[in-house]
Structure 1
């Protein structure tokens, strides 16, 4: 009998088989391992969702890939492929429901107004937060309906409203403790040009691959000028991530880093 293939080989083969957008455009080995790591981070309860942005693969390709990943990795939790206006999110259904419910109850996300008309970023006015929360509530209703259907470990659906600011909502759905807001109906301009941003990154080692392979599974920023006023929430978020990390076995060596960067232009 031949030896079983190493776990990393199985992950690479799964992505290269299912996720192709042309005859020659295979993902690189490091991209396939990072992709698998991001999906496994969702399955391990380290983040509620992951936004697929590796290539233009369609829903069916991603579904087939995640299904194979579930069998390779013995993923026990229920995953869901959610399509929002040509964007594909891979979601941990139960975790997403809990995250959105907690957010609506506890105000545990900072919404940051980066409208182009402002001279500098600031926290959103309560009425703007109220509108964002009503949009989150719409998505939560959709998620609850998906959670209620327990017939399969992997499912898919689509949801969308023209009223939503997808930049703001993706910050929420990806589990960030802070999310940018601006009037998306007008344009995507913002006031973050040359504003010092504090960037947070969380990464960890995927245990079943060689020891030095790090998966970055969180990266978000907040304007440094607002950091003192939202530090308590950010610290609480870091503690919660460490707690979730202790409760899983797929990753080791959690590393949360922060650095301040200044960019001439920031695309949201």
Structure 2
């Protein structure tokens, strides 16, 4: 988004905080022209969790593959190197932050932002693909289990149900990733109990096959 765009976003977020609509500290990360709005503590927590999770929660969906599979050791170490670099960057930025809305810039050379953003969003498993192949993938017509997280938000309107987020995992890998999925579910429920804005947490899943999947 460039320096000018980042500065404008910071001013906008500062006004939201003044209005009491964004009580937590926020960090704007410029990653190769993409602006990511992060809660610093939560972002660091999710990066650290992805670095220690076993099996590594990265799914290779490169177009050259016949079907999705967990990333191999070489690909996994590359991804972990990128996540570790981002974690170190955020720790350094947090150590020097003085405002309630801070910002920094990182040059994501070789990073797959699809994977990085998946980790930052808290997905239990993130998709990865060979960057030299572009954004094509092998998920077309592949059975995917789509998880959706919904909750009611009475602060806005009684009976209002909102979808907080959703993600997919290849159905063929759900058994292999069961421990990771169970941990995600438990952590989500724990985080839900620690807040008061949303009630009636609902976690659903269904299997779909689509003619094309954009990442």
TM-score (norm 1): 0.73
> Which 5+ residue runs of structure 1 have no aligned equivalent?
1-56
Q: Which residue of 1 aligns with 2:41?
A: 94
Corresponding pairs, count: 212
Matched, 1:192 2:167: no
CA 1:146–1:87 in structure 2 vs 1: closer, same or farther (change >3 Å)? same
Q: Which residue of 2 aligns with 1:83?
A: 30
Q: Which residue of 2 aligns with 1:19?
A: none
3-state secondary structure, aligned to 1:73: coil
Q: Which residue of 2 aligns with 1:258?
A: 205
Q: Which residue of 2 aligns with 1:134?
A: 81
In the TM superposition, residue 124 of structure 1 has moved relative to its aligned partner by 0.8
Q: What is the distance in 2 between the residues matched to 1:216 and 1:60?
A: 30
- Tell me which moved more, 238-247 or 145-154: 145-154
- Contact persistence 2:26–2:37 (CA under 8 A): yes
- Tell me which moved more, 211-220 or 244-253: 211-220
In the TM superposition, residue 119 of structure 1 has moved relative to its aligned partner by 0.9
- Contact persistence 1:109–1:233 (CA under 8 A): no
Q: Which residue of 1 aligns with 2:188?
A: 241
RMSD (Å) for aligned C-alpha atoms: 1.9
In the TM superposition, residue 109 of structure 1 has moved relative to its aligned partner by 5.1
Q: Which residue of 2 aligns with 1:163?
A: 110
Q: What is the distance in 1 between the residues matched to 2:15 and 2:163?
A: 22
CA 1:106–1:192 in structure 2 vs 1: closer, same or farther (change >3 Å)? closer
CA 1:228–1:112 in structure 2 vs 1: closer, same or farther (change >3 Å)? same
CA deviations over 1:102-146 (Å, ceiling 9, x no partner) = 322334752111111111111110121111000001100111012
3-state secondary structure, aligned to 2:45: helix
Q: Which residue of 2 aligns with 1:65?
A: 12
3-state secondary structure, aligned to 2:133: coil
- Tell me which moved more, 93-102 or 119-128: 93-102
Structure 1 residue ranges (4+ consecutive) displaced by more than 4 angstroms after TM superposition: none
Matched, 1:114 2:61: yes
Q: What is the distance in 1 between the residues matched to 2:163 and 2:110?
A: 31
3-state secondary structure, aligned to 2:159: coil
CA 1:108–1:216 in structure 2 vs 1: closer, same or farther (change >3 Å)? farther
- Contact persistence 1:109–1:179 (CA under 8 A): no
> Which 5+ residue runs of structure 2 have no aligned equivalent?
none
- Tell me which moved more, 142-151 or 189-198: 142-151
